[in-house]
Amino acid sequence: MSRLPGWLGRLGTNLSEMGERLDQRRAEAERGDVGIEPPPPDVVRALPEELPPPIPRPDPAHVVPWGVRVAAEAGWRLLVLAGTVWVLMKVISAVQLVVLAFVVALLLTALLQPTVARLRRHGVPQGLATALTAILGFVIIGLMGWFVTWQVMENIDNLSDQVQDGIDDLRRWLLNSPFHVTDKQINGIAQNLRDAIGANTEQITSAGLEGVTVVVEALTGILLAFFSTLFLLYDGKRIWEWTLKLVPAAARPGVAGAGPRAWATLTAYVRGTVVVALIDAIFIGLGIYFLDVPMAVPLAVFIFLFSFIPLVGAVASGALAVVVALVTQGVFTAVMTLVVVLAVQQIEGHILQPFILGRAVRVHPLAVVLAVASGGMVAGIGGAVVAVPLVAVSNTVVSYLHAYSREAAVRTAPRPRGATALDAAPVSPPSSENPSS
């Protein structure tokens, strides 16, 4: 019996230790550490004190070189712009006649609007001033066309005889020239021309039939241009105000300031081009008249009309005058006509255009060549006529908007205070002068 209390004491001690272990296991289960045995002491000593952190992977966008990212950003924006321009050109080509008629109406309005304004200042009502100016302008244009047609029809018989005589003179000159041209070679060239005309008879006939369609389209375009000019002369201000409502409110002040400057540039270009073309026609016409070239007045009118196509028009009209002089009056008269044409064109390019057109519509010659070529490829002669004024107006608008945005950024910039405010330059309002000048 004496051993029973000792056994019971050990049993109680074991039960107490078992309870403590159970409590410890329960606490470890609550912490989530169940089943994890601590490593042996020798393994703990073999492990490093601290494991290195995992290397993070960089963002894929930052792995691409900066230049490649800039090129990609610019590339997709250029693709969007190219797609927009392509769609716009498709739309314009679908309504090409309407677009050209409206652009011609803008050019005529820029030419006639100062007359309307002058009549309004003298107390003439708006409707009457518009009607008088439009009727006078279109009557003058119609008389010019009628006069050219009348002169050609009146002189066509004499011209054909003179052309035949001129061809004979040219043939004799070639036979006696130092180029050693033989009669057989000349006959071969003439035979080739006759064969070419005979082989392309169907094409020439179809071109003549297509000419009827061209005449109908031309009459339609003339009527559209006439009515568009009337409405622009009479109600141009309200049309411009309605157009401004289509512009987003944030960009409306800049566009409202660029519009009058673009119109001033277009007006200066059209009036200056008319004056330069008139001077060219008068002096070249006088030169070929004194050289006894037939149809000098119709040729002068052609020179006036072709002068509205920069560079190309002057070359084409001058070449036409030289060819007429060659086949009617001979080589010497053709050379003298060429001298007159080149002299007048040099005076025009170096004196008349810089003095009359001024810096307001100055466009680089390379831009003129590219614009005329692009306009001719897109819309033929009409596109070549409107290409340069479009470039001049675009140059004015872009220059003004650039200056306006720069001045707006200066106006919205925070003003320095305190002692540094003395160094701040005063902000001036947008300049009223033409930015391109």
Q: Let me know if 318 is exposed, middle or buried by CB neighbors in 10 A (0-12, 13-18, 19+).
A: buried
CA distances from 249 to 244, 255, 256, 397, 432 (A): 9, 10, 11, 18, 21
CB 308 within 8 A of CB 388: no
pLDDT at 85: 86
Question: CA separation (Å) from 200 to 192, 206, 213?
Answer: 12, 10, 20
2 pLDDT above the threshold of 60: no
Residue 433 predicted with pLDDT over 50: no
Provide the pLDDT for residue 12.
67
What's the pLDDT score for residue 79? 93
Q: Which of 59-68, 82-91, 332-341, 384-393 has the lowest mean pLDDT?
A: 59-68
- pLDDT class for 42, splitting at 50, 70, 90? low
Instruction: Inform me whether the pLDDT recorded for 17 exceeds 80.
Output: no
Residue of 176 and 70 predicted with greater confidence? 70
The CA distances from residue 221 to 102, 216, 227, in Å, are 9, 9, 10
Instruction: Please tell me the predicted confidence (pLDDT) of residue 419.
Output: 47
- Hey, what are 58's tokens? 């960089």
User: What's the mean per-residue pLDDT of the chain?
Assistant: 75
For 375, the token pair is: 């306009």
- Considering only CA atoms, which of 394, 416, 396 is closest in space to residue 404? 396
Token look-up 């060549």 returns 369
| Euclidean distance between CA atoms 283 and 292, whole angstroms | 14
**In this predicted model, what pLDDT tens digit does every residue of 252-290 receive, in sequence order?**
888 888 888 888 888 888 888 888 888 888 888 888 888
pLDDT at 412 over 60: yes
Q: What mean pLDDT do residues 315-328 have? A: 81
What is d(CA 113, CA 111) in angstroms, rounded to the nearest whole number?
A: 6
